[in-house]
Structure 1
Amino acid sequence: MNKVELMQIEDTFLIKSIGLVLAPSFDLPPEGKWVNISEVVTIKTPDGNEVCADALFSVAHLNIKDPSVSVNQRWPILLSLRGIKQEAVPVGSKVYVSPSTKKAVAGGNA
């Protein structure tokens, strides 16, 4: 299957119960319906290495107290990786996914 670029990694952080979370996150679709997606993604690092990883695209709730923060910021779609060390996925790396996943995650930005 051909893969397409989804994003360039701006930051990473580890949440033990979820795995390595990649930023930026994505907005929920306008209709608010979401089904989690599991997929093997390809990550191309700035130095040219390629890493394949089991990924999960899932909705998370962020408990943000500021009432001016939008619903999309409170309920983002997060991309998390299991079994990958933070050092293997440096900032500036690009994430490649199937076209159908890009359409589901990036919506009109696909």
Structure 2
Amino acid sequence: MPRLLFKVEDTFLIRARGVVLVPGIVPVGGERFRIGDGLRLKRPDGTEVETAIGGLDMFTCTTKPDVPVLLKGLRKEDVPVGTEVWSVDGESAGG
């Protein structure tokens, strides 16, 4: 069942890696997210795009439970602040 994972508060670009979305996913129960898992981005203007997790970054200097998500093939401008990030049932967005 798809669920709202988080609402984007900020983004930043890591050259040669992709766009990082902040705050990130907070897994519920036994949820596990992997590279390649599908995501649906619902932008504030009403448009939607399906993508896939390109990386999951763990920052060791924080006590927050969220896991920042890295998206490849998108620009910062493609994911404005306020974008809702949803899980996707079934196959990853790429496959």
Shift of 1:60: 2.5
Q: Between Structure 1 and Structure 2, how many residues are aligned?
A: 85
* C-alpha contact (below 8 Å) 1:12/1:20 kept by paired residues: yes
The one of 47, 67, 87 equivalent to 1:97 is: 87
* C-alpha contact (below 8 Å) 2:23/2:66 kept by paired residues: no
Once residues 16 and 7 of structure 1 are traced to their aligned partners in structure 2, the CA distance between those partners, rounded to angstroms, is: 24
- Cα 1:16–1:90 change in 2 (3 A) is same
The ranges of structure 1 where at least 4 consecutive aligned residues each deviate by more than 3 angstroms after the TM superposition are: 25-29
Aligned to 2:70: 80
- Cα 1:26–1:49 change in 2 (3 A) is closer
**Alignment of 1:61 onto 2:59:** yes
Aligned to 1:7: 6
Report Cα offsets for 1:8-57 as digits up to 9, x if no partner. 1000000124310001135689xxxxx76121210000010001112145
- Cα 1:96–1:76 change in 2 (3 A) is closer
State TM-score, norm by structure 2.
0.70
Q: Which amino acid aligns with 1:37?
A: R
State TM-score, norm by structure 1.
0.62
Higher helix share: 1
* C-alpha contact (below 8 Å) 1:59/1:76 kept by paired residues: no
Once residues 7 and 36 of structure 1 are traced to their aligned partners in structure 2, the CA distance between those partners, rounded to angstroms, is: 14
Q: CA RMSD in A?
A: 2.7
- Cα 1:56–1:45 change in 2 (3 A) is same
Once residues 52 and 25 of structure 2 are traced to their aligned partners in structure 1, the CA distance between those partners, rounded to angstroms, is: 18
Aligned to 2:47: 49
Q: What secondary structure is seen at the aligned counterpart in 2 of 1:87?
A: helix
